[in-house]
Amino acid sequence: MKIPHDPDEIVALVDENDEIVGESRRLDVHLKGFMHREVAVAIVNSKGQMLMHKRADNGQWDPSAAGHFPKDFSYEEAAVKEVEEELGIMIEQSELKEICYQVFRNRIDDAKDNNRFVKAFMVVRDMDIEEFNIDPGEVAEVRWMGKEEIDSIANSDEKAMTTAARVIIQEKLGDVLK
C-alpha cells in the first residue's frame, strides 16, 4: 500500500476526551492503535451533490478531503490544509460548518488499528471538476455525486468507502444531498 503522507510526520496523541497527551509518528499511531485526530471536509454544491474523492493509496471513496494532521494544528486549520493539499483549492476557515465530531475505531488490517477522533466540516461551493488541482499522490479521482450514487457505492462493497465517509454521509448529510 502506498503511503501518500510522510510516515514520520508527528501527530498528536489524545485521551478519551480528545485532550493532547503526547505525540507519535503518524505510522506508529496505526501500528500501536494510539488514539489520534483526523479531519474531513465535505464540499457540497447547490445541486445537492458532494465532491467525493477516491483515495490513491487504497482505492476507497472518501469525503472531499480528509486525513491526519500535524500536532500543532487545530481541526479548522487542518481542514483548510487538507483541502489545499488534496484538491488544490483554497478555502477559508469561515466557510467551514461543523457537521460531525465523534470517535471512530476500526481495524485497518491484521496489524493496524485506526482509533481516532474525527471532526468533519461541510463547505458549500459550486465548482467545475476542472477547477480542482488534485494531488495524484493522494487522490486518484474526484467526482460530484448525488445521494443515490453515493448510497450505491456504499452498499456495493464494505471496502468501497471509508468508515468515516459512510457515517458522515449517511448520518450527517442525509438532508443536504439529493
Phi then psi dihedrals of residue 80, to 5 deg = -60, -45
How high is the mean pLDDT of the chain?
90
Instruction: State the total domains in the chain.
Output: 1
pLDDT reading at 3 higher than 50: no
- Residue-number span of the structural domain to which 128 is assigned: 10-172
Q: What is the pTM of this model?
A: 0.90
Burial degree of 165 (CB within 10 A; 0-12, 13-18, 19+):
buried
- Answer whether residue 75 is part of any domain: yes
pLDDT reading at 2 higher than 90: no
Give tens-digit pLDDT for 114-158: 789 999 999 999 999 999 999 998 899 999 999 999 999 988 888
- Answer whether residue 4 is part of any domain: no
Give tens-digit pLDDT for 61-104: 999 999 999 899 999 999 999 999 999 999 999 999 999 999 98
| Beta-carbon contacts of residue 25 (< 8 Å; ≥ 6 apart) | 7, 8, 9, 10, 11
Using pLDDT thresholds of 50, 70 and 90, give the confidence band for residue 1: very low
Give tens-digit pLDDT for 8-66: 889 999 999 999 999 999 889 888 889 999 999 999 999 999 999 999 988 999 999 99
Using pLDDT thresholds of 50, 70 and 90, give the confidence band for residue 168: confident
- Answer whether residue 114 is part of any domain: yes
Cβ of 173: how many Cβ atoms within 10 Å?
Answer: 20
- Answer whether residue 74 is part of any domain: yes
Cβ of 101: how many Cβ atoms within 10 Å?
Answer: 12
Q: Going along 32-145, which residue ranges are E strands?
A: 35-44, 50-55, 61-62, 65-68, 97-109, 112-124, 139-145
Q: What CATH number did the domain enclosing 95 receive?
A: 3.90.79.10
- Answer whether residue 2 is part of any domain: no
| Nearest-angstrom CA–CA distance, 9 and 152 | 35
